[in-house]
Structures are given as C-alpha cells and as structure tokens.
Amino acid sequence: MSAVLFIAAAFIVISIALWIYNWRNPKCKGILPPGSMGWPLIGETLKFFASTTTFDIHPFVKERMKRHGPIFRTSLVGRPIVVSTDSDFNYYIFQQEGQLFQSWYPDTFTEIFGRQNVGSLHGFMYKYLKNMVLNLFGPEGLKKMLPDVEKAANRNLKKWSSQNSIDMKDATASMIFDLTAKKLISHAPEKCSENLRENFVAFIQGLISFPLDIPGTAYHKCLQGRKKAMKMLKTMLEERRAMPREHQSDFFDYVLQELGRKDTILTEAIALDLMFVLLFASFETTSLALTLAVKLLAEHPLALKGLTEEHEEIIRKRENPDSSLTWSEYKSMTFTFQLINETVRLANIVPGIFRKALRDINFKGYTIPAGWGIMVCPPAVHLNPSRYRDPLEFNPWRWEGIELNGATRNFMAFGGGMRFCVGTEFTKVQMAVFLHCLVTKYKWQGIKGGDILRTPGLQFPNGFHVQLSEKLTKQESTT
C-alpha cells in the first residue's frame, strides 16, 4: 500500500514539475523573445498591477527592458504575452492589422467590456460599427456639437467658481458624461431614479485591477457596475422601442433605426455593448487628461501664459467678443494642440494596446507563436529619451511645427493603424473648448490632492481639488 502511495505521490510531483517546466519554457518553432513566464496561471500578473507614483515607464516594463531588451515575453492573467516597447515593431503591428495581427484583449477585459464590444469584433463588422460611431463623432457631427460643448463648459465653470473647491477629476468627468449621455441616449440624470454614472464609477475602480471575481474585490465591483449599467441601457432601449420618435435626435435613435432594418447585421447585444463602451471611453479618459492638463498648467506658468495669450487673441479678433466659438477658431488653436499632445504623451492613460498573432511572426530574430497575445506599450515609446529630450519634462513647445493627423512610430496616445481611436477629435474638442473657457474667464489654485498613481493605468487617488474664481474684466480691474 505504501509503495502505491509513493508511486502516486511521485507521479503527482513529476506531473506538477513537468507542468511548471512547460509553462516556463513554451514551445516555439523559432527563438522566443527573452523573458519569464512567472508562475503557472498567475504568471507575472501581480507585478504588472503593482502601483507606482511616477510619470516614468512602469517598473514592471522598465526593469524587463533593461534585462531583456525592447521586446520580451511574460504571462498576464493566464495568457502568454509578448510586450513590445520597440517603435518599429509597434508600427509594423498596426500596419498589419487584419493580416498578421488582430485586436485582442485578455478574457478578463472581455468580461468587463462585453463579448460583443467593438474592440473584440473584426473585419466588416468592425468597419460597420466604426462608421456608425463616426456619424456622431466625425468632423460634421462635432461641428454641430461644438456650441453644446462650450455651453456645458461655461455652465459648469460658473457653478464651480461659486464653491469653495471642486475635485477637477470628478467634476470634469461628470460634465463630460452628462453631455455625452445626452448626445448618445438623451439621458437626463435629474429625471432618472437611478444614477447611471455611479455604475460607471464602480466599473472604473476595478477596470485595471487583479481579476479576482470575489465579493469585496475591485474587480467584482467592476463587473457589478457593468451589470447595473447594462440593465439600465437595456431598459432605455426597450422604452424607446415602445415609444419611437418621429425624428432622429440622438445616437440611440440611429441605433434603433439600424436594428429595424431588414438587412441589418447589427444585433441588440452588439448595440448595447457599443453604447456601454462609448459612454465609458468618452468621459473617463478625457477627464483624466483634462485634470492632468489643469495640474500641469498650474505648475508651469509659461505654458499657462502661452495658452492664455492664444485664447485671448481669438476673442480679440472677433467682431463680437461675446460670440460663440467657431470651428475655424477651434482649428486655429495651435499651441492648445501642442499642449494636448504633450499632456496625453505624459499621461499615458492607456498603458497597453493588445493584439494577437494570427500566425507565427518573425521579427528581428525572434518568433512570436500564433495565438500569443502582444501588448504594445505606448509609455515606453512616449518616454524614450532617444526620441524625446528630457522625456519626463512637461514641454508643449517640443511639438512646435509638428502636425499629427494620426499615430506615428513615436506617438500612439490614441492607438494606431485601422483601429486609431475614432473618438480622438471628440477628446480634443472637449479639452480645447474647456481650456478656452477656463483660461479666458477664470483663474485657479490647487487646494489639495493632485498626486498621481499608476496601477498601471493613470489615477488621481486623492483627486485634484482646486479653487476657481472669475477673472476681473479690464473695466473692473481699473476701478
């Protein structure tokens, strides 16, 4: 009996040892990029999610770049991943979208954003949804939206200036969410019994966290927030179907029109996931970038001076100083766009862009096996000292004379290739218009907070609280 137990125990030990060996030494028809796969299933996930308080490249990536070079392998949330900090490889990945690579995210991300979300769809279906979104966020849609963006900024800034202090991150997120939700689904928070944005806040808190779905964890709260938000969206869809409108007034009407077509390829599940992703993407990333911009402007008086002069000049050139912003005025904001580029370069709100190899890929002597995930790492590109002098320094003037109409080898804050973010111009409109209203009419000072945290995405753990006050007019300042 003891011999049988000994053999059984030995078999288990050998099996486990073999499993660990195979995990740490994946099979490959060529030479794998150097790196470590960590422990089975867990991989190096815990180190990846470790927090840091710097603008610099996350220690997880930086340490491995020094040890292994710009392309290395690891394992995150149970999947083998090749991490690329190589600008040439990143560019190649984006250019070969749909041929050698396709958009992919770990299963945990898919659970969060939905299995039918736009990031998980490919080919004709993805192009179809992209065109739907451009109907709202394309240039023509944004031209119509510009007055509403300016009114929202002025209204909220006026309200905030009457308060002792406001948390810039929370306040701008609320402002942008309300505007976007109105354009997407005609959502009026004051008329709803349940707060839609609160569900998204719960969702955001666990979005970039260790994927442990146990009550009490951030990831569990994230999934619950998604579930509640999706339930609200489905209820709205059903109500809209029961009482259709005569005229198309928001994106929901457009979606319902598409769902009602006999030859449609759109499904209700895809439509709801699309709504969810648009609501999330439109306000969370933009409010983070705006908060960081306001913080950096407060810390860099020369940048604030340059921005203020540009926007005051726009007003001086008008026949009526009180008239609303025009599209041509928006497009003329040269220094503003330099400042936005520099802010998002430092912010690195998206720590990784995921793709999957469709077949074995050979690059610079390494082989990435078919089916492996690839994480393009924008921070490593944006903070590369060989590309950006003093990369951790806030310097909007470094973008002088550089016009960006998409992603480049050295700038990918909004993604790249055919999946370049369709909401990029919307983000720029929101930021530029808000900054215009802010610097021409208000001054501010930091009260508390403003610390940043990366886990590995950007956060303001204690907010950024500022006190706003209206600027005196020339007539008021001379009396």
Q: Which domains does the chain have, with CATH numbers?
A: 23-51+59-115+351-382 (3.30.43.20)
Is there a contact between 250 and 184 (Cβ–Cβ < 8 Å)? Answer: yes
Annotated binding residues, written as ranges, equal 421
**Nearest of 433, 189, 123 to residue 293 by alpha carbon:** 433
Which helix H or strand E contains 374, and what residues bound it? strand 373-376
Give the CA distances from residue 374 to residues 74, 94, 245, 350, 369, in Å, rounded to whole numbers and listed in that order: 10, 11, 45, 15, 10
Convert the pLDDT of each residue in 1-52 to its tens digit.
577 676 766 667 776 666 666 667 788 888 999 999 888 888 888 888 888 8
Q: Encode the chain (479 residues) as per-residue pLDDT tens digits.
A: 577 676 766 667 776 666 666 667 788 888 999 999 888 888 888 888 888 888 999 999 999 999 999 999 999 888 899 999 999 999 999 989 888 998 887 766 666 666 655 555 556 666 777 777 777 778 888 999 999 999 999 999 999 999 999 999 999 998 998 888 888 877 766 555 456 777 666 666 666 566 677 887 777 877 887 888 888 888 888 888 887 777 767 788 888 888 888 888 888 888 888 888 888 777 788 999 999 999 999 999 999 999 999 999 999 999 898 899 999 999 999 999 999 999 999 999 888 888 999 999 999 999 999 999 999 999 999 999 999 999 999 999 999 988 777 667 889 888 877 667 777 888 999 999 999 999 999 999 999 999 998 888 888 989 999 999 998 765 454 44
Report the pLDDT value the prediction gives residue 190, as an integer from 0 to 100: 59
Annotated binding residues for heme, written as ranges, equal 421
Which helix H or strand E contains 188, and what residues bound it? none
Report the pLDDT value the prediction gives residue 384, as an integer from 0 to 100: 94
Task: Identify whether 456 is preceded by a cis peptide bond (ω within 30 of 0).
Answer: yes
Instruction: Report how far residue 380's alpha carbon sits from residue 88's, in angstroms, rounded to the nearest whole number.
Output: 13
User: What count of other Cβ atoms lies within 10 Å of the Cβ of residue 327?
Assistant: 13
**pTM of the prediction?**
0.88
Is there a contact between 273 and 266 (Cβ–Cβ < 8 Å)? Answer: no
Phi-psi region of 57 (alpha: psi -120 to 50; beta: other; left: phi over 0): beta
- Assigned token pair, 51: 């927090």
Report the pLDDT value the prediction gives residue 474, as an integer from 0 to 100: 54
Report the pLDDT value the prediction gives residue 112, as an integer from 0 to 100: 66
3-state secondary structure 54-79: CCCCCHHHHHHHHHHCCEEEEEECCE
Any idea which residue has 């003329």 for tokens? Answer: 332
**Nearest of 184, 83, 193 to residue 136 by alpha carbon:** 184
Size of the chain in residues = 479
